Amino acid sequence: MELSLDFASYTWWSIYTTLAFFLLAIFGFIFQWGFRFRLIGATGFMGVLTVGLFALSFGLFSRADIPNAVRFNLVYDTGTNQAVIAVPLDITPSQLEATLQQASINLFSYGRTASNGDDKLTIRARAQLHQEGVTFPLYLGQIRRSLVQKDDLNSIITISEANFAKIDSFTQK
């Protein structure tokens, strides 16, 4: 049996169940049932469960899917306004742009705060270049977006053409 992660529908069912327990508790007090205080406890428990499901329904597991974006790994994240992702060496500039946009949507959180007075989230993309037994990071681009607005239309994407040229010269050797 496979369960879905549709917490919004679970929240509605939990609300209905909480209301049913609340009505049963009211009837318990009206008719002086012996287990009326247990119904109050069950109602309280259902209230807590409903609040938890409501919080999870805000989209805990939602991820953006931008066309032409490639898989990336999160390498470094301060939790405030800086993050670094790793991308493969064979990425193209158009794929990098789409990947940076996808990363900026996926890494956005209202819990991030500005440090050093910078109110922009900066996500840098890097690839690892292996040369003569030495591996070093090669930064290919970055995106800067707002820490406050979820749908930031003023994101600034910077692609390093010089570092893409280094990759091309390295792969041609």
Burial 102-113 (b: 16+ CB within 10 A, else e): bbbbbbbeeebe
Block residue for tokens 């840098």? 124
pLDDT in tens, 79-124: 889 999 999 999 999 999 999 999 999 998 878 887 777 789 999 9
Residue whose C-alpha is closest to residue 115's, from 58, 77, 172, 156: 77
Looking at residue 48, its pLDDT comes to: 98
Give the alpha-carbon dihedral of 20, 23, 24, 27, to 10 degrees: -160
Strands 156-159 and 120-131: unpaired
Task: Name the strand (E) or helix (H) holding 74.
Answer: strand 73-77
Q: Which two tokens stand for residue 105?
A: 């949507």
Task: Name the strand (E) or helix (H) holding 137.
Answer: strand 134-146
Spans of all domains in the chain: 7-56, 73-171
For residues 41-45, give the mean pLDDT: 97
Q: What is the distance between the alpha carbons of residues 81 and 97, in angstroms, rounded to a whole number?
A: 19
Looking at residue 7, its pLDDT comes to: 86
Q: For the chain, give the mean pLDDT.
A: 90
For residues 14-28, give the mean pLDDT: 97
Confidence band, pLDDT 50/70/90 cuts, at residue 63: confident
Q: Is the pLDDT confidence value at 61 over 70?
A: no
Give the alpha-carbon dihedral of 161, 165, 167, 168, to 10 degrees: 130
Q: What is the pTM of this model?
A: 0.67
